[in-house]
Structure 1
Amino acid sequence: MSSSKMTWFIFILAFSFLQSQASRILVSKPAPATGFVFPQVQSTVLPDPSPFFSSNLLQTPLPTNSFFQNFVLNNGDTPEYFHPYSFRFSDSSLTLSYPTRIATSASILQNFTADLTISAEQTQTQQQHQVVSSFSDLGVTLDIPSSNLRFFLVKGSPYLTCNVSVPTALSISTTHAIASLSSDTKQTKHTISLNNNQTWLLYSSSKIGLTKTNPSLITSDSFSGVIRVALSPGSDFKKVLDQFSKSYPVSGEALFTEAFGLEYQWEKKGDGELLMLAHPLHLQLLSVKDRNVTVLDHFRYRSIDGDLVGVVGDSWVLKTQSIPITWHSINGIKEKASIPDIVAALNKDVQAITSTPVSTTASYFYGKTIAKAARLALIAEEVGANNVIPTITKFLKNAIEPWLSGTFEGNGFLYESKWGGLVTKNGAVDEGADFGFGMYNDHHYHIGYFLYAISVVAKLDQAWGLKFKDQAYSLAEDFMNINRQQNSNYPRLRNFDFYNLHSWAGGLTEFEDGRNQESSSEAVNGYYSAALMGLAYGDTNLTATGSLLAALEILAAQKWWHVHQGDGIYEDIFTSQNKITGIVWSNKRDSGLWFAPPNASEIRLGIQVLPISPITEVLYSNVSYVKELVQWTAPALTKEGVTDAWRGFDYSLEGMYNKQDAFQKIKNLSGFDDGDSLTNLLWWIYSRG
């Protein structure tokens, strides 16, 4: 065993030991009890949450990147996708769609069609739209007060579940024609066939009389109780749906039970076992032996993320392989003779970056600049160039402290209590400033860069780290908080979607295709940086939480951002033209970017790679895929207008299988991404196998 592998082996043993001593449920450090660390501000651009949340929830931090975000923005009538159905609220009703999937060479999307709309007689209640009465990691409960309807929307349920609180007449309409309506003798199971070849089953907790009133409308007699509606994609599905129709989830929690493990626990009502649906990454991680669950491989629904498969069980255990969270290269620099090259570049880069203050006031670019400097400090440490570390450390302290102390001129972090979280000074008055940070867009990206730099300084200067520990943790908790306490300053895991197993970046903006995330690699960097902060402060819980989230984000990127022909996730017409996505939406896959067209494949590659650090090797561990990706991108590198900054990411990946050629290309670069440097790329190339 090599010395580098031995070091990593010892790290794993130590990490496992520390984890065994930690609490069964991992909880990161709570916010300081003395009050808010950052100055408070009243944002002038954030929407008002009060029309869509019950009064008791308004006293707590609210989700800003959740799977139900469209339901609480503007008019609340834009759909959200819940696997396997899309839902839309409008006019005191809920419409569900089993969306059709449309694939082209440029995109894959799911088309919303009003398959069934459920409404009821309205009372005189002034509140006409839906109100969130509770939410959890895996579901949300919405009430329509004017209609006596309560909907339990839980991700991955093959049924829509609705509770009718008092006797009320219901209406079920469709944009299609109703071919037939039939009921069993007890009038608790009803079959609705539509002329688009869909068959829907409606189950009721007690007798309900349904009448086809016109070709597209069914009405009921007065009813109170629970109804469940499910699409039956095939005749053999009906028996399964019948069998599990009486047990329904009302919420679901995701528990951090052990290192690199996550457990789903649903709160359910009714009788019998619970039937839910798992997407392909769930199935990859699902530990059948750890829980009494049964996978129904034949019971499948289509989805934007690949086939959803039935799983029977009241809880699931998901386990992933551990990943290395290291300051330096995972396997060390292979060629010691290369160190003078790195040191020569290091001296020049340190001089260039530390000779003047950071020129930007934008939180994203500022964060990238200080993270770039922090990378230089760690590389200097790895190659033994300790003489430049004090210069870098001084620069980082001077650059970071004004943001942590609230004295930075031109911008800074502030706390707003309407939704519960950090905004920037500029973002509090301009929704477009800092790429929408004030609208809760991209928090794990921006703050991730700050955490990386803070962690490096705290590692190098423990006294400084302790001095600014409260501010550092407050930054981290903005997107890393996993507490459920109502007195927390931040919502639970602002960006991470526990069902999808990756993050969303879109913030408090309404989108027709739901949540979205462009840069999967910057999401990985955010959680990786939080894990490093745990190492810097000796916080095993934070390191474990950050490590797990980084591992899941990596697996999700490899599943849905990295495109593989023939794996059954995406259609051939899309995979034949794309090796990597531009933007992953909850209801769409797009080859374009927010800032570049689909044919800018070099930018598509770069935005899914940056920033380059030790964790990049884990994200791009499939070298055969890396080779395909680099070759797919190569023609774009010769186009007019392509900059060396983007070429650098392509050459870096090439270095994983063609080290010598990539080295020569990198040496000839005349420019680098604003978060990258020649030193960093040489370190990367020389630490390849």
Structure 2
Amino acid sequence: MGLSDFQKVLKKIDNKLNNKTSSGHSSSPTSSSNSGSYNRAPAPLPQVSANSGSPLSSSDIFSKPISSSEPLPLFPRRQHNLKPKGCSEGNESIQTNNFYNNLCLEDQSFPIWTLPYSLWFSKDPSQGDIGFSFNHTEANQRVFGPDPNSNPAQFYFNPPRIKSWYFATADINAREEVQLENHNKLSVIAKWNGMTFPLVHGMGFVTAIYEQGKVPVIGSQVGIQDFRKVGNGKYRAMLFNQVVWTIYVSGANGNADLSLRDPQHIVSDRVNGSCTIQICRGESNFYDETAGCYPISCNLSGSVDGSRGQYKFLYNLKGQSQSGKTLVWCLPHHQEVLVSSCKQTGLKLDSPTKGVMKAYVTNELVMEENNLPIQISWEPWSEISGCSTPSSYSNSSLDLITRAAEAEVKQDVVGMANIDSMYTSGKILDKFAHILFVCSNIIRNQALTAELLPKLKQAIDIFATNRQKYPLVYDTTWKGLISSADPGADFGNSNYNDHHFHYGYHIHAIALVAKSDPTYFQSDEGARAKAYATELLRDVANPSSESDKWFPQSRSFDWFHGHSFAHGIFASGDGKDEESSSEDYHFAYGMKLFGNVTGNVDMENRANLMLAIMKRSMNMYMLYSDDNKIQPPQFIKNKVAGISFENKIDYSTYFGRGTIGNEWIHGIHMLPITPISSYIRGPKFVKEEWDQILAPIIDRIPDGWKGILLLNLALTDPKKAWKWFSRNDWNESQIDNGMSRTWSLAFIAGIGGA
């Protein structure tokens, strides 16, 4: 899909959403109400360190860089044509694929989601006063379509830009840009018109810090029906949609009164110093305990011990509160594995697309996954009962695999791979690397291995020496490796779209070659390939931008959401999105194998932890078993998300739905099928998807998508999949260009299909 088509889709979506925006009606969250007197006795913040908690080992898997050297000189330096708004280009690495990136783009007015709140810079006079706006939407406000009564619905979204509140001052400069600093994967600081807004994933309050001399103005386009002071520095406000919010004031102006000037404006009566104003939805004594302090940043750390792994969000705080702690909201996949000693509050608020969030009184969150896929490596693997590791093969299955390999190794590897797309070339390299692995490690055919290996090495070396049709360049503006092609080419790679998809295939292919040829990295071309894959990994999955200043931390994978975002530096009214869950975890699998074959234990551990988190989150938010309790009941029958945005889920793809049914939507969540596939896509889910969606249409699918769907079938019924792939009347046109019959047969037989 080209950039122009991509932008047209986004514009169409934004227009549709803007036409449907309304003030909505909702109720207060489940809470422990305390609307009486409030006399806060602040406690100083406790001393915390990055090593607090109970890590599984003494080593932080995010502390050591993959490399800290300047990117290889074979990548020419270039400034990006698209400059980040409100950011100082310098030592800080600016995130391209995470929650705050909309604030860096176009006119900075597209919303962001810290969860559970959405925020945006409102500068359109037709939408009311100018200010830094925010809102929260409930599940009952979701819009389903195109037929709101259909089950399943094709999409649902949350009405955007309902301006419940906005922070402003009495002397607004509408032309002033929002300035961003302290860029972090999980947080950023925004400054505008003498106000500072810490923006942090899961923050319990929306906080504005007013500089000395600034007169606070708090507005609401929804309108304020009732406003009253209920304690020292505490106010209760009910809007005309009947939603109750609590407002807290602290700092030098803490004793200053706020008053209702008119149904849309609350103003302060004095400006004798700086002050902090915090707003939250609902009423609770837990808000009282935590108001006054706020996170200004959030640091990520983690540790792994065998099949157990922990990851921690450490919230760095300012201010004072009764408890000395803040309030943090967690998503469902956090809640299931939370191990830190947090005080549960009973507070609940809906997230836009990921179920019900819960609030905890804490300064850190520690989550522990206990099923890291350390048992899954190179050989075919499945969760199907009875699947053995290592795989065993019958003589007849080995004969058929060998015949398939004999035909496929004769193909023109170099010519097929040396094309104008990092994505498609990566798929081709990975296809032949799988064939090589089968020849070397499964059928153990030295002649076929010797025939294919030099051709595959030659093809990889084209990319490792940056001699492909559109060489990569190092972008000094956003700090990353991007295609030198036009932004409209190769799915928007040069604007940071899909880097984990594209580069994951290259990394995985190089790891497979090194596994098949243990001397590979000792040769000149192997050393170049290793260095090339290392640079790709730094671009997508740099563990720390402090240790490696040349790339942002974890460009693609969002450790709060539990999956990656593929959407790069294009502004979007629904936030970041991801289409292919399977190519997301394929990147992590390639990273795992590359870490294994290079002896980088921290890299392998990070990848295993990522995969365990994705197994949990994707089966909540993207892959829907019949018993899914997270997504709306009228959406679960789709079985897969399609495209997952921060604010919307759309059962579709950017390139269409399918020639027969919706097979493209399902196939893009399957490819490529590797040993890690069954870890994420369990047999129960795969069987439900097959029986309910795919079995009725499979016989009519004429092209390569058929092969993808039938190889995926092996994850629940390998014998049926084997029957199709082993038939005598084989049709090469019915498998994807990134698939091979050799690997398909070896995989299916290896998990018990033959």
Q: State if a TM-score over 0.5 links the two structures.
A: yes
RMSD after superposition:
2.3
Task: Determine the structure 2 residue equivalent to 1:189.
Answer: 234
TM-superposed CA distance for 1:185, in Å, is 5.0
Task: Determine the structure 1 residue equivalent to 2:421.
Answer: 362
Distance 2:262 2:528 in 1: 71
Within 5 Å, give how 1:104-115 maps onto structure 2: 104=145, 105-112=153-160, 113-115=162-164
TM-superposed CA distance for 1:546, in Å, is 1.9
Question: What is the CA deviation profile of residues 239-286 of structure 1, one whole-angstrom value per residue up to 9, with x for unaligned ones?
Answer: 222222233211111102334321111101223222211111001221
TM-superposed CA distance for 1:353, in Å, is 4.8
Distance 1:196 1:611 in 2: 48
Distance 1:390 1:570 in 2: 50
Native 8 Å contact 1:531 1:546 kept in 2: yes
Task: Determine the structure 1 residue equivalent to 2:127.
Answer: none
SS at match of 2:203: coil
1:445 aligns with 2:498: no
Question: What is the CA deviation profile of residues 597-656 of structure 1, one whole-angstrom value per residue up to 9, with x for unaligned ones?
Answer: 3884211221111111111121212x121111012222663586x333111222223223
SS at match of 1:644: coil
Question: What is the CA deviation profile of residues 106-157 of structure 1, one whole-angstrom value per residue up to 9, with x for unaligned ones?
Answer: 1121112111111112377x9612111213232221000xx21001121112
Task: Determine the structure 2 residue equivalent to 1:222.
Answer: 270
TM-superposed CA distance for 1:80, in Å, is 1.2
Task: Determine the structure 2 residue equivalent to 1:336.
Answer: 394
* Residue 211 (structure 1) aligned to one of 259, 277, 285: 259
SS at match of 2:629: coil
Decide which moves more: 454-463 or 437-446. 454-463
SS at match of 1:573: coil
* Residue 628 (structure 1) aligned to one of 677, 683, 688: 688
Distance 2:414 2:109 in 1: 53
TM-superposed CA distance for 1:490, in Å, is 0.9
Task: Determine the structure 2 residue equivalent to 1:258.
Answer: 304
In structure 2, what residue type is equivalent to 1:673?
A: D
TM-superposed CA distance for 1:372, in Å, is 0.4
Question: What is the CA deviation profile of residues 72-105 of structure 1, one whole-angstrom value per residue up to 9, with x for unaligned ones?
Answer: 1010000112211110113362111112323341
TM-superposed CA distance for 1:31, in Å, is 3.4
Task: Determine the structure 2 residue equivalent to 1:3.
Answer: none
Task: Determine the structure 2 residue equivalent to 1:455.
Answer: 511
SS at match of 1:285: coil
Task: Determine the structure 1 residue equivalent to 2:86.
Answer: 52
Distance 1:537 1:659, change over 3 A: closer
Structure 2 portions without partners, runs of 5+: 1-54, 124-129, 146-152, 382-388
SS at match of 1:184: strand
Task: Determine the structure 1 residue equivalent to 2:437.
Answer: 378
TM-superposed CA distance for 1:37, in Å, is 3.6
Task: Determine the structure 2 residue equivalent to 1:81.
Answer: 113
Task: Determine the structure 1 residue equivalent to 2:46.
Answer: none
Decide which moves more: 561-570 or 437-446. 561-570
Within 5 Å, give how 1:582-593 maps onto structure 2: 582-593=642-653
Native 8 Å contact 1:139 1:154 kept in 2: yes
Greater fraction of residues in helix = 1
TM-superposed CA distance for 1:24, in Å, is 3.3
Within 5 Å, give how 1:136-535 maps onto structure 2: 136-144=184-192, 147-186=193-232, 188-205=233-250, 206-223=254-271, 224-232=274-282, 237-259=283-305, 260-269=309-318, 270-271=320-321, 272-287=324-339, 291-297=340-346, 299-320=348-369, 321-324=371-374, 325-330=376-381, 331-337=389-395, 338-354=397-413, 356-358=415-417, 360-380=419-439, 381-408=441-468, 410-426=469-485, 430-459=486-515, 460=517, 461-464=520-523, 465-485=526-546, 488-535=549-596
TM-superposed CA distance for 1:342, in Å, is 1.3
In structure 1, what residue type is equivalent to 2:482?
A: V
TM-superposed CA distance for 1:58, in Å, is 3.0
In structure 2, what residue type is equivalent to 1:563?
A: Y
Distance 1:216 1:123, change over 3 A: closer
Native 8 Å contact 2:379 2:675 kept in 1: yes
Distance 1:657 1:617, change over 3 A: closer
Task: Determine the structure 2 residue equivalent to 1:63.
Answer: 95
TM-score (normalised: structure 1): 0.89
TM-superposed CA distance for 1:424, in Å, is 1.3
Task: Determine the structure 2 residue equivalent to 1:684.
Answer: 747
SS at match of 1:643: coil
Question: What is the CA deviation profile of residues 171-198 of structure 1, one whole-angstrom value per residue up to 9, with x for unaligned ones?
Answer: 2222223111101353x11111111011
TM-score (normalised: structure 2): 0.82
Distance 2:482 2:347 in 1: 47
Distance 2:350 2:703 in 1: 44
Task: Determine the structure 2 residue equivalent to 1:581.
Answer: 641
Distance 1:168 1:517 in 2: 41
Question: What is the CA deviation profile of residues 351-377 of structure 1, one whole-angstrom value per residue up to 9, with x for unaligned ones?
Answer: 235485535221110000000000111
* Residue 652 (structure 1) aligned to one of 711, 717, 726: 711
Task: Determine the structure 1 residue equivalent to 2:21.
Answer: none
Distance 2:694 2:61 in 1: 46
Distance 1:176 1:649, change over 3 A: same
Distance 1:463 1:162, change over 3 A: same
Native 8 Å contact 2:93 2:183 kept in 1: no
In structure 2, what residue type is equivalent to 1:115?
A: S
Question: What is the CA deviation profile of residues 461-511 of structure 1, one whole-angstrom value per residue up to 9, with x for unaligned ones?
Answer: 231333443332112111111123276211111111121121100100011
In structure 1, what residue type is equivalent to 2:216?
A: L
Distance 2:348 2:57 in 1: 41
Native 8 Å contact 1:31 1:489 kept in 2: no
Structure 1 portions without partners, runs of 5+: 1-18
SS at match of 2:546: coil
Distance 1:336 1:136, change over 3 A: same
Distance 1:178 1:29 in 2: 51
Distance 1:607 1:301 in 2: 28
Distance 1:382 1:638 in 2: 30
Decide which moves more: 603-612 or 217-226. 217-226
TM-superposed CA distance for 1:533, in Å, is 1.0
1:129 aligns with 2:180: no
TM-superposed CA distance for 1:541, in Å, is 1.5
Distance 1:438 1:362 in 2: 11
Percent identity between matched residues is 23
Distance 1:470 1:352, change over 3 A: closer
Native 8 Å contact 2:583 2:671 kept in 1: yes
* Residue 94 (structure 1) aligned to one of 118, 128, 132: 132
SS at match of 1:135: coil
Distance 1:663 1:140 in 2: 51
Native 8 Å contact 2:418 2:462 kept in 1: no
* Residue 144 (structure 2) aligned to one of 103, 114, 137: 103
Distance 1:196 1:355 in 2: 63
TM-superposed CA distance for 1:542, in Å, is 1.5
In structure 2, what residue type is equivalent to 1:527?
A: A
Native 8 Å contact 2:61 2:602 kept in 1: no
Native 8 Å contact 1:374 1:392 kept in 2: no
1:72 aligns with 2:104: yes
Distance 2:642 2:311 in 1: 28
Distance 1:467 1:600 in 2: 44
TM-superposed CA distance for 1:348, in Å, is 1.2
